[in-house]
Amino acid sequence: MTSRDTQYELDWKPEQLRHALDAAGVAMWSWNVDTDVFVMDTQGYRLWDVTRNGSLSFEDLSAKIHPADRDRVRAAFSATRAVVGAYEIDFRILVGGEARWISARGQGNDAGIRDRNMTGIFLDVTGRKQAEEGNELLAGEMSHRVKNLLAVASGLTQITSRSSSSIEDMAKQLTQRLTALGRAHDLVRPLPGGQGKAALLGDLFTVLLAPYEDEGAFAGRIRVAVPRMGVGEAAATSLALVVHELATNSLKYGALSVPEGMLDVSGTMIGDDVEVVWTEQGGPEVFPPEGAGGYGSRLLSRTMSGNLGGRISHEWSRSGAVVTLKIDGRKLAR
């Protein structure tokens, strides 16, 4: 290829450049630093969900930036006028009540800029940000589960020691309980190949709570009585997380932490929805968590409201905790 051919290949026409920018989801902007007038291309107005009617100022556009990011973005845009070189800043805007992540990129230093206009581009990076948040959430959840599993293993050892007659008997019982715990955690994972219903609601509770039951003098202290209905694989994953979190808390602080403690799990149908009441008795006096609670409390609330379409409520008393789970029956079947 000759130098003339290379020049020809790189000499793109405006419409070709426009098609390339649209395909990449790139929006262009221009900001007059003296008049504060902000101008964008069609893609930019669509991205920010604003109209071309009348003039648009940087302050007008700032009103659509998420309140938590607004001051940071204003300061960053002002700083770019004195900073030489490329810059990039990510922030959220509110469009139709939903947050959308935007990446603003441009060239800093307004010395010698043409007609006092700074230029740059906007990119919609919502997908990337959501993926990053998902990875952070997964990492936090895995860390939380590992800590809980260590606490559960310690608690199961104490439970087993109360009902064992010898070291051999304790080893056997503890192995059985840890094996049951492994089966329970299999329910936290979605079934492969879209195998439909993951479990019956009663079986799900029974398997998940089996490791916490005593086999000796305290056998039968966990009772489960819920409606007979199928649970879909997605809902089984979420519900298993909820049950495991409640059982871990009970083993640490509630009824399952003492030999005389009792746990009753009962459920009723309310229309198409399910209400499950988790009642602990005979354990130490329980108190509500201070402040907003820890990661476990946030995990419970987020799982119930998001994945199961319901809500969770607590009652704290001298006799033990009472936790009410209200679940959308349609989401439970998924």
Q: What is the mean pLDDT of residues 161-167?
A: 70
The mean per-residue pLDDT over the stretch 150-154 comes to 69
Query: To which H or E segment does residue 145 belong?
Result: helix 126-162
Which domain-ending residue is among 124, 151, 172?
124
Q: Which domain holds residue 205?
A: 130-332
Q: Which of 228-242, 262-276, 305-319 has the lowest mean pLDDT?
A: 228-242
CA 210 from chain centre, in angstroms, equals: 28
Contact 174, 155 (CB under 8 A): no
Looking at per-residue pLDDT, the higher value among 3 and 233 belongs to 233
What are the residues whose beta carbons fall under 8 Å from the beta carbon of 141, sequence distance 6 or more? 299
Least confident piece of the model among 69-78, 185-194, 239-248, 302-311: 185-194
Residue 57 per-residue DSSP state? B
CB atoms under 10 Å from CB of 325, counted, come to: 22
pLDDT of residue 130: 79
The DSSP string of 263-302 is EEEEEEEETTEEEEEEEEESS----PPSTT--HHHHHHHH
pLDDT of residue 186: 65
Q: What is the total count of domains within the chain?
A: 2
Q: Where residue 17 sits, what CATH number does that domain have?
A: 3.30.450.20
The predicted-structure confidence for 48-97, as pLDDT tens digits, reads as follows 888 877 788 888 888 888 998 888 888 887 777 666 667 788 899 998 87
Check whether 329 has a pLDDT greater than 50.
Answer: yes
pLDDT at 120 over 70: yes
| Whether residue 118 sits in one domain with residue 242 | no
pLDDT for res 110: 63
Look at residues 215, 203, 205, 237 and name the one whose alpha carbon lies nearest to residue 156.
Answer: 215
**Three-class SS state of 253:** helix
Q: How confident is the model at residue 191 (pLDDT cuts 50, 70, 90)?
A: very low
Q: What is the CATH number of the domain that holds 163?
A: 3.30.565.10
Say how far apart CA 202 and CA 333 lie, in whole Å. 14
226 with 247, same domain: the answer is yes
Q: Are residues 224 and 191 in the same domain?
A: yes
Is the domain of 134 the same as that of 248? Answer: yes
pLDDT at 33: 76
Looking at residue 1, its pLDDT comes to 47
Range from 71-80, 135-144, 219-228, 286-295 that averages highest in pLDDT: 219-228
For residue 251, give the amino acid letter: L
Both 145 and 84 in one domain: the answer is: no
Three-state secondary structure string covering 163-210: CCCCHHHHHHHHHHHHHHHHHHHHCCCCCCCCCCEEEEHHHHHHHHHH
Question: Which whole number is the average pLDDT over 209-230?
Answer: 76
Average pLDDT of the segment spanning 17-42? 79
Give the Cα separation of 266 and 275 in Å (integer): 8
